[in-house]
Every structure is written in C-alpha cells, then in structure tokens.
Chains A and B, each alone.
Chain A
Amino acid sequence: MAGIIVNQGRITDIEGAIKLCPFNAIEDNNGVVEINAACKLCMICVKKGPEGAFVFQEDEKIEIDKSKWTGVAVYVDHLEGEIHPVTLELIGKAKELAAKINHPVYAVFIGKEVKDKAEELLHYGVDEVFVYDNPELKDFRIEPYTAAFEDFIEKVQPSIVLVGATTLGRSLAPRVAARFKTGLTADCTILDVKENTDLVQIRPAFGGNIMAQIITPNHRPQFATVRYKIFNAPEKIDTFDGKITLCELPQERFESKINVLKIKQKELEENISDAEVIIVAGRGIKKEKDLEMINELAHALGAQVAVTRPLIEAGWGDPRKQIGLSGRTVRPKLIITCGVSGAVQFKAGMLNSEYIFAINEDPSAPIFDVAHYGIVGDIYEVIPSLLEKIKSI
C-alpha cells in the first residue's frame, strides 16, 4: 500500500516531528510515531523532517497500455439541443491538447432531436461527433445518459474526456468516471498534456489558497471538468472535414428509476452574487446622473453594477445590489471599484474577487490594500478614457 513509512530510529524529537504535519496526521503512540488517517500525502514530513525519518513508499504500478486509448473527447452540454458555450471552449482546449499528442478530437452528443445540431460542432474543428439521439434521452436522467456515455467510451476508447462543470456535467461526469473506475479532476483551471498522453490537470486544492497539479498516470480515460469561461472558444470555420456518426443503444439501456414530472422555466433575475464582472459605484460618484458613466462601463464589459451603502441610503441603487457585510458577498472574476474608500464592511463582501481594480483619487484609501491594481486618479477622467479605448476596438 502506498503511504508514508516512519523510521523510528531517525526521530529524536517526537514533539517536533508531530508539528511537521499541517493536517495533524502524525501521532505519538506511546513513544512510537505513527501516521494516522488524516494523512493527505502532501510530503511535507518527507521533505522537512529529519533525513530518512519519513519515507514515501509507492505501490507497485501496473502499467497500462496507453496507446490503446486515443482521442480527446468533449461532452456536448446542451439544453434541448441548444449547445452550451462551455462546450465550444472545451473543444478549443481539446484541439490544443490533441495537436500536441497527435490525437483526434471527438464530441459526444446525447439527447433527443440533436442530430441536426451536431453539424455545428464540425465548424469548430471536431473530427467526429458521436450522436445518441433517442426520445428516451429527452430529459436528463442519470441512468440513460450514463449508458450512452459508457457506450461511447467503450466504442471509441478516448484517452481524455472533458466535461463542462455545469449542473448537469457535475452530475454526469462522476457517474461515468466511477463506472470506468478512473480518475476525475473537478473544476480544472489549467490543462496540458504530456508526451505520454497523461493529462496535466491544475486546480485549486485543499480548500486553501493552493494550486495542485494532478495526473491520472495509470487509468484511462482521464476525466476532467472545467467551468464555463475558463478557456476560449475557437474560431468558427466555414469548411470542415469532420464527420457525424449516429449511434444506437438497445432499448433496455434507457431504463430509469427517475421520472421527470415537470419542468418549469425560471424567472431569470440578475443576481450580483453570480456576476463574473462587477463595477461598483461608491460615494466618489457626485450626482445620480453620473451613474450613467458607470452603466456605460458595465455595458462595455458585460458587467453588473453594484453600489456601496451610502448610495443605497441616497436612494440611488437597489438594496439587492449592495456589496458588503450588510449586503451581498460576491466573488467575481473581475471587480472594478469606482470612488469606493474600502471600509472593512465593504471589503468583507468582495475580498475573494479574482482581480480587483480600484480607482480612487486618495492614494491612502484602504481599498488599495486589497486591490491588485490600484489606480490613483479621478474617476471622472479615468473612466471616460478607458471607455474611449474600449470603443475604439
């Protein structure tokens, strides 16, 4: 079994040895140092402990024949045939990966009346689309969808399978991965591939501010899910030479213990907590009318507008758009604060944003402590200049 072996003789300071582990996995059992079930195999004790005290013992590897698995496959996420854009982004990444190892790009399209929609995918450079089109596949039910996916994998034997981390993808991908008893890495933010076709999967890990590089060295296919808007969609091309293959499944494979009773359209209300880009207006805005400039910037960046509390109090904004301790917490990819001082109550609601741009004329404003890009300047000059540049493209 793989794990850490403890060489008792090499440990002189038991107390110190226990402290090595950030997960409390090293125990003192009446003078015998042991590793408990909390071990995450992070290797800190191996690297930082006394020489030879903690040693990583690997399993004997059963090598698989990786050459039997070829192709980078993308699951086509769709709603009644309407293809979710994450699919195209994954096709873009699949093409990049496939080019490095000289593999084809596949797509697997499961649903009802989806045949005619498959051609669109060829315009993005997919070599072969495998279509499972059956009335039984109208609604997403886990067993029939898994059965179709399983059939595809058995037939095609792809090396890599990419699935969008949508609500549906997050339910389907683990089910299929478990059926093949293979690895699945969720929410990858970076993907690459090694010469030996091992997929290099990078994602945030251990719940903290850490990235992990993960591989699936001895199993195929290699499953990864990726969220929407992580990768770029490829350009659409007019000509193509990929093809469409229709696949059938015996009726009994569609059996399900799930019965979809009702599907109700949701009213789509804007929610700043879901926004990927947010522009925040603070008290640096002098008049209500000046919010137009903010709205224009938001429009140009596909963003939602949020505000600080004083603007709510002034009646210039909808309370649902307030960020902060007494408002909403947001975690967008990009947030641009305009004339916001950065009070603790405000910062509490937006600290985890991926990129924080702050425009404020006061160089000592506390917002600059959390901003990745602090722009010391007047919003009434900076924003029009930025807008002009955006419009010029």
Chain B
Amino acid sequence: MEIVVCIKQVPGTTEVKVDEKGNLIRDGIDSKMNPYDLYAVETALKIKEEQGAKVKVITMGPPQSETVIREAFMMGADDGYLLTDRKFAGADVLATAYALAQGVEKGGKPQLIICGKQTTDGDTAQVGPEMAEYLGIPHVANVKKIVELKEDSIVVEIDMPNTLETVEVQYPCLITVEKGIFQPRLPSYKLKKATKDKGIAYLSLKDLNDQDEKQYGNSGSPTQVERIFPPEANTDHEKWTGGGKELGEKMFVKLSELKFV
C-alpha cells in the first residue's frame, strides 16, 4: 500500500512580530518541521512496520523546505515530493489544498493520506479536509488511535469533545492525526547517511495536471489579507496600588469590562 504524508516547514519560534505601522519584523529564520506533522509521519511509519507500505512525504513551500523532507527520510520515509514554484506563493487554505491535491495525484494513487492536526503557523487545521474534498475521498479528522488495518479500510478512533468514536473508513481516504497518537521517533544517524544523496522530486506548476495559474498561489486564493496589525490586547502593563478594598473593587470593574463577570 501507498501512504502520502503532508508535512510543512514552519518558523522555529513565534518570532514574527509586527511594528506599529503594521509591518512584519522577523529576527531569526530558524525553521523546523511542523511539530504536529511529526505525528503524521510516525503514524505512516508504524503502518509500514505493521503491514508494509511505501511512505511518501509531500510538502509545498520554498526550495529550503527540502530540509523537512530530508528529516522525514531520516525517520524512515521512502520518497519525497517538493511542490515549489513562485506561482504557488501567497496561497491561502484553498490554493494550498488544491496544489497539494494536484501534487498527490501526480505521485500516484495512494490509499491513505495523513496530515497533521494543524500547523503552528497557518494554524487552521483545514488544509487536510479541503484536500480530501479536491481528491473526492472521505476524510476523518482528529484521529487519536489506529485500531485496525484491514484489507480495504482502516479503523480509527476519533477524539470528539465528549465522546470517543470508532469509525471504519474505506480506502482511499485522508486522516488528520492528533498529537500523541504515537511518539515520533528521532531521526536516525544511519538513515541520515543512507539518504544523504536520495533524490527529491521537485514539482512546479508545469509538472501538474492542471496548469492554470489562476488556481494557485495568491491568484487561486479567495481570501485576501487586507492589512496586518499588532494585537490590541496584552500590551497593557498596569500596576495598581492602594487599599485592599479599593483594589478589589477596581479588579471587579476591569473584570466586568473584559466580560469575565
């Protein structure tokens, strides 16, 4: 069987800030694999160990995102695809999901696609379900446990707010996995050496089935950022002094203002 895992490179810390005029400032450019995607990679590798599978990873991003594919190789992934093209830049959820779906189709017909629960930069948890829609396959989000692997289906446990649901989904399908489904393994030095020169398939717009520029990047994004600005809350640092009674009353007024009482 063939499994595709979607992984993304994200900033190492939340060092992106914005100045008063609404301009982004960023110090380091430390990047890493989206931590949630490590669980997705691990899930695929566990399935591979259990019953044999070919694990492919795919990422859309600038050329330097190659690093996360190498990292997945060091964990045990078999193949890597990097979707990279200037024309993919500025993509919102829809355009990202579309490009990824196109990329997945290009790489064959996987039975199972695994996404992380969310990214730490986009933080929408929506790319997975939108991809599934584009691929015309069912999806199940918030998978907490793999219960059983069957011939043409997978049985998983999903984490709902008040319940745990066990559901069976027929292949091909897409799942998004929760943090903690398995403990992600560390990259292995042996694999690092063994995969040092392993090829990564670069896919640009002209390699995809749909080459209409209007579907990708900023052009293919229905949502547009009108402006960015620093958050208002949290910048206050007030210190109040006075008698205990008075201070308690002042707290009450502030808590009411903030709608906590």
Residues of A within 8 A of B (CB): 1-3, 22-25, 34-42, 44, 47-48, 59, 79, 139, 141-143, 146, 166-168, 170-175, 177-179, 181-187, 200-201, 204-219, 232, 256-266, 268, 277, 300-301, 333-334, 354-355, 357, 359, 363, 368, 371-378, 380-390, 393
Chain A contacts for B242, CB-based, 8 A:
377
Q: Does B79 contact A (CB under 8 A)?
A: no
Q: Report whether B24 and A210 are in contact in the complex, using a CB–CB cutoff of 8 Å.
A: yes
Rank and list the top 10 A-B pairs by shortest CB-CB distance, nearest first: A381-B244, A385-B248, A208-B16, A183-B222, A22-B26, A207-B121, A38-B62, A183-B223, A174-B126, A178-B133
- Known contacts A24-B64, A259-B168, A386-B248; A170/B217 CB under 8 A: no
A358 to chain B, nearest CB (A): 9
Q: Does B130 contact A (CB under 8 A)?
A: yes
Q: Report whether A24 and B166 are in contact in the complex, using a CB–CB cutoff of 8 Å.
A: no
B231 to chain A, nearest CB (A): 5
Residue in B230, B236, B251 whose beta carbon sits within 8 Å of that of A375 in the complex: B251
B22 to chain A, nearest CB (A): 9
A213 to chain B, nearest CB (A): 5
B186 to chain A, nearest CB (A): 22
Q: Does B196 contact A (CB under 8 A)?
A: no
Chain A minimum-CB-distance residue to B223: A183
Q: Does B245 contact A (CB under 8 A)?
A: yes
Q: Does B14 contact A (CB under 8 A)?
A: yes
Q: Report whether A373 and B225 are in contact in the complex, using a CB–CB cutoff of 8 Å.
A: no
Q: Report whether A363 and B123 are in contact in the complex, using a CB–CB cutoff of 8 Å.
A: no
Q: How far is it, in angstroms, between the C-alpha of A23 and the C-alpha of B90 when the chains are bound? A: 12
Q: Report whether A2 and B231 are in contact in the complex, using a CB–CB cutoff of 8 Å.
A: no
Chain B contacts for A218, CB-based, 8 A:
222
Q: How far is it, in angstroms, between the C-alpha of A141 and the C-alpha of B160 when the chains are bound? A: 13
Residues of B within 8 A of A (CB): 10-11, 14-18, 23-26, 29, 61-64, 84-90, 92-94, 97, 119-130, 132-134, 137-142, 155, 159-170, 173, 213-214, 217-219, 221-231, 233-234, 236-252, 254-255, 258-261
Q: How far is it, in angstroms, between the C-alpha of A171 and the C-alpha of B236 when the chains are bound? A: 36
Q: How far is it, in angstroms, between the C-alpha of A375 and the C-alpha of B214 when the chains are bound? A: 55
Chain B minimum-CB-distance residue to A198: B226
Q: Report whether B123 and A207 are in contact in the complex, using a CB–CB cutoff of 8 Å.
A: yes
Q: Report whether B230 and A211 are in contact in the complex, using a CB–CB cutoff of 8 Å.
A: yes
Q: How far is it, in angstroms, between the C-alpha of A59 and the C-alpha of B61 when the chains are bound? A: 22
Q: How far is it, in angstroms, between the C-alpha of A23 and the C-alpha of B124 when the chains are bound? A: 20
Residue in A42, A185, A373 whose beta carbon sits within 8 Å of that of B238 in the complex: A373
The A/B interface has a contact count, at CB < 8 Å, of: 330
Most-contacted residue by chain A among B29, B127, B130, B236 (CB, 10 A): B130
Chain A minimum-CB-distance residue to B218: A2
- Known contacts A167-B161, A258-B140; A376/B241 CB under 8 A: yes
Q: Report whether A25 and B89 are in contact in the complex, using a CB–CB cutoff of 8 Å.
A: yes
Q: How far is it, in angstroms, between the C-alpha of A393 and the C-alpha of B168 when the chains are bound? A: 51
- Known contacts A183-B221, A209-B16; A262/B86 CB under 8 A: no
- Known contacts A209-B231, A374-B237, A382-B248; A186/B124 CB under 8 A: yes
Chain A contacts for B219, CB-based, 8 A:
1-2, 59
Chain B contacts for A216, CB-based, 8 A:
222-224
Chain A contacts for B130, CB-based, 8 A:
174-175, 177-178, 184
Most-contacted residue by chain B among A2, A48, A381 (CB, 10 A): A2
Most-contacted residue by chain B among A48, A210, A266 (CB, 10 A): A210
Q: How far is it, in angstroms, between the C-alpha of A1 and the C-alpha of B120 when the chains are bound? A: 28
Residue in B88, B94, B138, B162 whose beta carbon sits within 8 Å of that of A266 in the complex: B162
- Known contacts A37-B85, A265-B163, A266-B163; A2/B90 CB under 8 A: yes
Chain A contacts for B250, CB-based, 8 A:
375
Q: How far is it, in angstroms, between the C-alpha of A2 and the C-alpha of B92 when the chains are bound? A: 13
Q: Report whether B252 and A389 are in contact in the complex, using a CB–CB cutoff of 8 Å.
A: yes
B4 to chain A, nearest CB (A): 18
Chain B contacts for A184, CB-based, 8 A:
93-94, 126, 130, 223
- Known contacts A178-B134, A385-B248; A213/B243 CB under 8 A: no
B119 to chain A, nearest CB (A): 8
Chain A minimum-CB-distance residue to B139: A142
Chain A contacts for B84, CB-based, 8 A:
37
Q: How far is it, in angstroms, between the C-alpha of A80 and the C-alpha of B37 when the chains are bound? A: 32
Q: Report whether B89 and A207 are in contact in the complex, using a CB–CB cutoff of 8 Å.
A: no
Q: Report whether A261 and B167 are in contact in the complex, using a CB–CB cutoff of 8 Å.
A: yes
B251 to chain A, nearest CB (A): 5
Chain A contacts for B62, CB-based, 8 A:
24-25, 36-38
Chain B contacts for A178, CB-based, 8 A:
94, 97, 129-130, 133-134
Q: Report whether A205 and B225 are in contact in the complex, using a CB–CB cutoff of 8 Å.
A: yes
Q: How far is it, in angstroms, between the C-alpha of A262 and the C-alpha of B124 when the chains are bound? A: 28
Q: Report whether B252 and A386 are in contact in the complex, using a CB–CB cutoff of 8 Å.
A: yes
Q: How far is it, in angstroms, between the C-alpha of A354 and the C-alpha of B239 when the chains are bound? A: 17
Q: How far is it, in angstroms, between the C-alpha of A23 and the C-alpha of B159 when the chains are bound? A: 35
Most-contacted residue by chain A among B64, B142, B162 (CB, 10 A): B162
